[in-house]
Structure 1
């Protein structure tokens, strides 16, 4: 018989299984771009491997666009319904759409399935965070949210490298066999463990979307979309960065992905702590660190040892920035906390789409496999500039208020 203290933990574990699956489906494609391009784009592969890999990068961009579209619209539309039912439906949708990626035969159809698979992503995390806070109760809400997000972090340490290994050795579709199994398990676990709660009919779509009237919300989203795009310009093309730019064997790619995942895990923990100490200083300091590490990676990309070191550093810096952006967004969102949680993932995946698209464009232009790192550097600088503009406007607005009294 399950004791009362065990019930919240089981619900959190069920939600974390789903977030693990989301981490895998979002990031595993990045390590398998050559394999996907070779199978789904054979003509382009035969003509130019660079062009084929760049074209395959659109699978990442389309998934990210699905997140951007789905996060605010789904989270706002289902806000009035019981959350446990919504979470079951979202996990079921993730299972179905990833199954389509597994079985569809052509690049165009697989691309469409990636767009669909991205739609439930942001709403899953946004509503899942509210469920986690609810089951843990007052005083433990942040712990519950953090536990759910560990699934995403662990996916980058274990799931993505494992999926990459399977995809390289058995065919890229085997990575999605594992993804579909994980989402199916999450759907069943959520149905069995997440407690039933009544919905909130007063939470209408119109009320939720009022968050977009807040100017500082747009600045916070811009920091995530542009600044975090710098990380995705590197992550998307990490496989050719290792094998082509650094000249290392393909079997090193999963190992580099493990190291990247460890950097993300460490950065998330450190960034959360620093954000609690001083949010603004942490955000600026970590964005500067991201710029510096991107520059060092670009300058030393011809050596595998430095690639490994600075890939870890870029992952650390970018993941450390993420909780500062989330906290900043929640600080400026006022009463619109639920949609703000989903919008954070929308912003980060705008960065995913932007980084993947621009990185693919410079590769297709013949600028080489280090070029996406330079793109990442430019995007990180853009995020730093938006942060400076946001804080500058906020401080000027605050200083005007006493002058009018």
Structure 2
């Protein structure tokens, strides 16, 4: 029960998303918009704001968050920093790809996997939510009248949910904790097999490009209020003095971010909340400074960064990655404000551990390479993997890790199967070393 406040906080977040939808959109269009979202094939990039309106998009995000919370609660999934990841991911991608209908077959498949294994579903609840990265497959099969139907969609979704738990457990081991979006890599590998098989059976999937513009002012204000609110709560309303909360955040900045790094357990809620707010402002700042757009996909990317602020990302290890993407725009044959590059700018922070562990020059290199690799990584899977940057990040992590460790032999980490905490002592976090000269606060 140490982190029981996550549930009411997440419900407040869902209410805030609903309020955004009701205030910025027309309430009369929300229900028709939700229906349109359900009936849309969701291959990348399908911005729900563009196809159904801002009201329906944010209400869909709120409902997906509530569904996710219900699954986590009923399955008794332990609350920790990764819970923040799940909330951020589900809220973010519910703005461009996941909806209240297409996530269920995959979740059901993972539930079936747990039952076949005779294990509690709570062990795999988080996997079931993250596996919905392939929910566009469910939508395509259900809605393509020339090939699939709803029953095939349920079956294929269940198969996806059934096979991803063992796949993701294996792919985690081969990335050495350097790619935070491990499920994106696993989903990408599965999709590279699934999509060719589907096309051989007669399917003809195509990528999409629905991209909303003109919402920078409205969404910037809403996102800014959320981020500043998190910082204020972390500093002044978290049960600790502001100086102690800020000291915890400074300690957080000294970590590498290598997966798994549960900041909620390591440093507590104050430092994590401050980091979430600051990282959200950084993500929004990079988008606006480079002439990008605040819309469903980019807000989804920022929500993802904020979620992973509790599990590996912080200002010091994400900024070099982003700078690497910006650097690429000066010599590559694409522009920094292209839609795919804007997403690479945000989701490329999956490689933050490379920056945190090996140093900022390698972070810039990783971002530079990622900005080009990700633009082609999704081609074989026809946009069916929503975590395309996770797939690209996994490829780069596998390539860069052995090269860097051979060049810098004394920086070769050993793979961790668990995070910094004993599984049987969930409420006893390990305190990182203090910053020079400061006394350690009690956690």
What is the TM-score when the length of structure 2 is the normalising length? 0.28
Structure number having the greater helix percentage: 1
Considering Cα pairs closer than 8 Å and 6+ residues apart, tell me whether 1 or 2 has the greater RCO.
1
